[in-house]
Structure 1
Amino acid sequence: MDVDLTPKLAKQIYGGDGGSYHAWCPNELPMLKEGNIGAAKIALSKNGFALPRYSDSAKVAYVLQGCGVAGIVLPEKEEKVIAIKKGDAIALPFGVVTWWYNKDDTELVLLFLGDTKTAHKAGSFTDMYLTGSNGIFTGFSTEFVSRAWDVEESVAKTLVSSQTAKGIVKLDAGFQMPEPMQSNRDGMVVNCEEAPLDVDIKGGGKVVVLNTKNLPLVGEVGLGADLVRLDGSAMCSPGFSCDSALQVTYIVRGSGRVEVVGPDGKRVLEAHLKAGNLFIVPRFCVVSKIGDPDGMDWFSIITTPNPIFTHLAGKTSTWKALSPQVLQAAFKVSPAVEKLFSSKRKLVAAEAEVIGWDMAEPPLLPLKENKIAKGTFAVVGIMSTLVIYGILQQNICASIYNLMYFLSSTWWWNLYLQEKIMRVPYGLNKEFFSYSLFLVFCNRITTSAVSAGVLLASKKALDPVAPLYKYGVVSVSNILTTTCQYEALKYVSFPVQTLAKCAKMIPVMIWGAIIMQKKYQGQDYLLAFLVTLGCSLFILYQGAGDISPFNRGRESTVWGVSLMIGYLGFDGFTSTFQDKLFKGYDMEIHNQIFYTTVCSCLLSFIGLILQGSLLMAIDFVSRHHDCFFDIALLSTVATASQFFISYTIRTFGALTFATIMTTRQLVSILLSCLWFGHPLSWEQCIGAVIVFGSLYARSFLKTKEKAVAPSLEMAETKAPGGS
Structure 2
Amino acid sequence: MYLNTSAMVEQPQGRYPSQPRPLFPCFFPMVSSQTRRTSFVPTNTDLEPQFPEEDFRGEGGSSFSWKMNGSDVGASKMVLLPRGFPQPVFSNGPKMAFVLQGTGTAGIVVPNGNGVLNERVVRISEADVIAVPSGVVTWWFNDNSDTHLAIVFLGQQRLVNFYLAGPRGVFKGFSAEVVCTSLQLGEAVAALLDSQTTHGGIVKLGPELNMPQPNIINRDGLVFNSFTAVLGEGDSSGDAFFLNSTNLPLLNEVGSGSSIIQLGSGCIYPPTYACATKFQIILVFSGSGNVEVVGPNGDSIINAAVEKGHLFIVPDTSVLSATAGHIGLGWLSILNSPTPRFLTLAGRGSVLKSLSQAVVQAAFNVTTPMERKIRFPGQSH
Q: 1:242 to 1:209 in 2, by over 3 A?
A: closer
Is 1:205 the counterpart of 2:205? The answer is no
Match of 1:24 in 2: 66
Number of aligned residue pairs: 333
1:245/1:307 contact within 8 Å kept: no
Over the residues paired in the alignment, what is the CA RMSD in angstroms?
Answer: 1.7
In structure 1, stretches of 5+ residues that fail to align are: 117-123, 348-723
> Quick check: 1:58 aligned with 2:99?
no
Is 1:107 matched up with 2:148?
A: yes
Question: What are the Cα deviations for residues 322-353 of structure 1, in whole angstroms up to 9, with x where unaligned?
Answer: 21111111111222321332342657xxxxxx
CA contact (8 A) 2:58 2:201 kept: no
Aligned-pair CA distance for 1:84: 1.1
Q: Deviations over 1:386-422 (max 9, x none)?
A: xxxxxxxxxxxxxxxxxxxxxxxxxxxxxxxxxxxxx
Structure 1 341/25 Cα, relative in aligned 2: closer, same or farther at 3 Å? closer
Aligned partner of 1:14 in structure 2 is 56
Which residue pairs with 2:200 in the alignment? Answer: 166
* Matching residue of 1:139: 173
Q: CA deviation at 1:183?
A: 1.5
Quote how far apart the aligned CAs of 1:196 are. 7.2
What is the TM-score of this pair, normalised by structure 1?
A: 0.45
Q: Relative to 1, partners in 2 of residues 1:318 and 1:225: Cα closer, same or farther, differing over 3 Å?
A: same
Pair 1:67 & 2:107 matched: no
Task: Mark the CA change 1:81 to 1:261 in structure 2 (over 3 Å): closer, same or farther.
Answer: same
Shift of 1:245: 3.5
User: Does the C-alpha gap of structure 1 residues 340 and 188 become closer, same or farther in structure 2, counting only changes over 3 Å?
Assistant: closer
AA aligned opposite 2:190: A
Percent of matched pairs sharing the same residue: 41
Amino acid in the other structure paired with 1:297: G
State the partner residue of 1:125.
159
* Distance in 2 of aligned mates of 1:266 and 1:138: 52
Map Cα deviations across residues 47-86 of structure 1 (whole Å, 9 max, x no partner): 1001111101101111111111111112541111111111
1:86 matched to 2:119: no
Aligned-partner Cα distance in 1 for 2:376–2:168: 64
Q: Distance in 2 between matches of 1:298 and 1:103?
A: 27
- SS of the equivalent of 2:276 reads coil
Deviation at 1:247, TM superposition (A): 1.3
Distance across 1 between alignment mates of 2:354 and 2:163: 53
Partner of 2:365: 332
Q: Which has the higher contact order (CA 8 A, sep 6+)?
A: 2
How far apart in 2 are the matches of 1:178 and 1:4? 41
2:135 alignment partner in structure 1: 95
Q: CA deviation at 1:174?
A: 2.3
Letter in 2 for 1:74: V
Tell me the CA shift for residue 201 of structure 1: 4.5
Runs of 4+ in 1 over 6 A off after TM superposition: none
Counterpart amino acid of residue 79 in structure 2: A
What is the letter of the counterpart of residue 310 of structure 1?
A: L
User: Which position in structure 1 is the counterpart of 2:287?
Assistant: 254
- The question of whether the paired residues in 2 share the 8 Å contact of 1:262 and 1:285 is answered with yes
Alpha-carbon spacing, 1:242–1:226, altered in 2? closer, same or farther (3 Å): closer
With over 3 angstroms needed to count, the CA separation of the structure-2 counterparts of 1:271 and 1:196, relative to structure 1, is closer
Instruction: Work out the CA distance in 1 between the residues paired with 2:297 and 2:184.
Output: 63
Going from structure 1 to structure 2, the CA distance change for 1:234 and 1:154 (only over 3 Å counts) comes to same
- Change beyond 3 A, Cα 1:339–1:179: closer
Residue 207 of structure 1, CA deviation: 2.7
C-alpha contact 1:61 1:92 (8 A) present in aligned 2: yes
Deviations 1:677-716 (A, max 9, x none): xxxxxxxxxxxxxxxxxxxxxxxxxxxxxxxxxxxxxxxx
Does residue 178 of structure 1 match 2:212? yes
Alpha carbons 1:242, 1:284 under 8 Å: kept = no
For residues 528-607 of structure 1, the aligned pairs below 5 Å read none
Q: Which amino acid aligns with 1:80?
A: R
CA contact (8 A) 1:138 1:161 kept: no
Computing the radius of gyration over CA atoms, which structure comes out larger, 1 or 2?
A: 1
The aligned counterpart of 2:25 is none
Counterpart of 2:13 in structure 1 is none
The alpha-carbon deviation at position 152 of structure 1 amounts to 0.4
Q: Is contact 1:131–1:160 with CA below 8 Å preserved after alignment?
A: no
Q: Deviations over 1:349-402 (max 9, x none)?
A: xxxxxxxxxxxxxxxxxxxxxxxxxxxxxxxxxxxxxxxxxxxxxxxxxxxxxx
SS at match of 2:228: coil
Compared CA separation, residues 346 and 157, structure 1 to 2 (3 A): farther
CA distance in 1, matches of 2:135, 2:236: 43
Residue deviations 1:619-646 (CA, integer Å, cap 9, x gap):
xxxxxxxxxxxxxxxxxxxxxxxxxxxx
Please give the alpha-carbon distance, in whole angstroms, between the structure 1 residues aligned to 2:310 and 2:221: 29
Structure 2 CA distance, aligned partners of 1:148 and 1:203?
59
Return closer, same or farther for 1:189/1:152 CA change in 2, 3 Å cut-off: same
TM-score computed with the length of structure 2 as normaliser:
0.83
- AA aligned opposite 2:292: E
AA at the equivalent of 2:103: C
Judge conservation of contact 2:239–2:261 (CA < 8 Å) in 1: yes
Quick check: 1:304 aligned with 2:360?
Answer: no
| CA–CA distance in structure 2, aligned partners of residues 270 and 4 of structure 1 | 14
Summarize the Cα distance change of 1:333–1:208 in structure 2 as closer, same or farther, 3 Å threshold: closer
Change (3 A) 1:4 1:42: closer
Contact 1:244 1:284 in 2 (8 A): no
